[in-house]
């Protein structure tokens, strides 16, 4: 367990190394710890022999190099130019609340789906900058963390009393997105936020941050600082896993407060295949959530936060179907389910 600053609140720290074991009883040790942490908190640290630190270092180096370019150069790959929501995200592009934008820039990397058939708004070739080293190093990190995420999907299947390979059939072409996020140095950082309060839309997130700033809303409705711990990743539950678990795990609201130092953050958001129906999968339980199309939910939530997509909605070019409002999952600041 890890003590958070001066608070009595703690986050679990789970070693997932035994997910590599050939023995089910070893893997179940991780499963039980993961299940407990996700039920009680929904946010945790993970560490394990699976991690390749050199890939983390190279990702940070390539991100520093990319974001150091001038704005005109970065805007050549503006996300609004892509057909599947990938590319450069300038400061001010994302808004979780009206007239309030996030003080960050980002580069969004998708699954890089190359097939012509079955493309979706979030599934297609990634828009890459004209830099082979960027593509090589970012893809190497993506594939590395994706493999760890698939181990965790197996662990969730066991935790929910399903066959261990239950999710395998639903992860063939998942639109799981990696974001390279840059928070520039800001000497006037107080009382501003890099990312407003939100839940993640997908099943779960694996995050590699380089500096403090992340805050989590606990079950008492208090915002808790989450420090950076070397050689760990931060993991949290998203909307889709809340539904799949029938509320056993709640999506956890979080935000990023502005800190003065320059900061990078690299979340990989794990979803199931675009057409997979997200609905409670717990045996012998009355479903507490209606089913929804996973990819549709993911795109709808995205379209309600990105300026270029909101402009298309306003013009009538884009019409959302079955869109739920933002903040539809997790706990609110009164400690109640949204």
What residue spans define the domains of the chain?
2-315
The position carrying tokens 């190497």 is 140
Structural tokens at position 240? 């889709």
Report the side by side order of strands in the sheet with 105-109: 13-15, 43-47, 233-237, 204-209, 263-270, 177-183, 105-109, 87-89
**pLDDT attached to residue 190:** 55
**pLDDT attached to residue 337:** 47
**pLDDT attached to residue 95:** 75
CB burial of 226-261 (b: ≥16 within 10 Å; e: otherwise) equals beeeeebbbbbbbbbbbbbbbbbbbbbbbbbbbbee
List, in sequence order, the alpha helices (H) in the chain. Answer: 24-40, 53-67, 71-74, 132-159, 239-244, 294-303, 307-315
C-alpha 153/C-alpha 139 separation (Å) is 20
**pLDDT attached to residue 123:** 92
Q: Which CATH number is associated with domain 2-315?
A: 2.60.120.330
**Per-residue model confidence as pLDDT tens for the chain (338 residues):** 444 444 444 689 999 999 999 999 999 999 999 999 999 989 999 999 999 999 999 999 999 999 999 999 999 999 999 989 999 999 989 876 655 566 789 999 998 999 999 898 899 999 999 999 999 999 999 999 999 999 999 999 999 999 999 999 999 999 999 999 998 876 665 555 445 677 888 999 999 999 888 888 877 788 888 889 999 999 999 999 999 999 999 888 888 876 667 889 999 999 999 999 999 999 999 999 999 999 999 999 899 889 999 999 999 998 888 877 766 565 444 444 44
pTM over 0.85: yes
**pLDDT attached to residue 217:** 84
Structural tokens at position 91? 């400061």
**Cross-strand partners of 306:** 94
**pLDDT attached to residue 232:** 95
Using the 8-state DSSP alphabet, how is residue 156 labeled?
A: H
Neighbours of 123 (CB within 10 A): 22
**pLDDT attached to residue 235:** 96
Q: Are the C-beta atoms of residues 215 and 223 closer than 8 Å to each other?
A: yes
């Amino acid at each position: 367990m890890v003590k958070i600053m001066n608070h009595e609140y703690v986050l679990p720290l789970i070693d997932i190394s035994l997910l590599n074991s050939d023995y089910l009883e070893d893997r179940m040790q991780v499963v039980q710890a993961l299940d407990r942490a996700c039920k009680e908190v929904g946010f945790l640290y993970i560490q394990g022999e699976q991690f390749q630190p050199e890939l983390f270092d190279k990702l940070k180096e390539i991100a520093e190099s990319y974001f150091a370019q001038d704005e005109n150069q970065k805007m050549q790959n503006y996300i609004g130019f892509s057909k599947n929501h990938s590319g450069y995200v300038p400061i001010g592009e994302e808004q979780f609340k009206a007239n309030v934008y996030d003080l960050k820039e980002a580069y969004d990397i998708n699954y890089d789906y190359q097939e012509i058939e079955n493309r979706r708004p979030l599934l297609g070739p990634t828009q890459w900058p004209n830099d082979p080293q960027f593509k090589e190093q970012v893809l190497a990190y993506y594939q590395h963390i994706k493999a760890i995420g698939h181990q965790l999907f197996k662990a969730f299947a066991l935790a929910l009393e399903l066959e261990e390979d239950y999710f395998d059939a639903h992860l063939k072409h998942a639109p799981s997105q990696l974001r390279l996020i840059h928070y520039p140095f800001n000497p006037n950082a107080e009382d501003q936020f890099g990312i407003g309060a939100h839940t993640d839309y997908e099943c779960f997130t694996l995050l590699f941050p380089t500096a403090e700033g992340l805050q989590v809303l606990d079950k008492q409705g208090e915002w808790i600082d989450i420090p950076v711990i070397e050689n760990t990743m931060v993991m949290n539950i998203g909307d889709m896993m809340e539904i799949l678990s029938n509320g056993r795990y709640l999506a956890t609201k979080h935000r990023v407060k502005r800190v003065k130092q320059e900061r990078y953050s690299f979340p990989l958001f794990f979803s199931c295949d675009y057409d997979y129906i997200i609905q409670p999968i717990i045996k012998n339980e009355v479903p507490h959530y209606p089913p929804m199309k996973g990819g549709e939910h993911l795109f709808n939530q995205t379209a309600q936060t990105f300026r270029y997509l909101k402009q298309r909605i306003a013009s009538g070019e884009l019409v959302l179907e079955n869109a739920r409002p933002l903040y539809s999952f997790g706990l609110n600041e009164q400690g109640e389910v949204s």
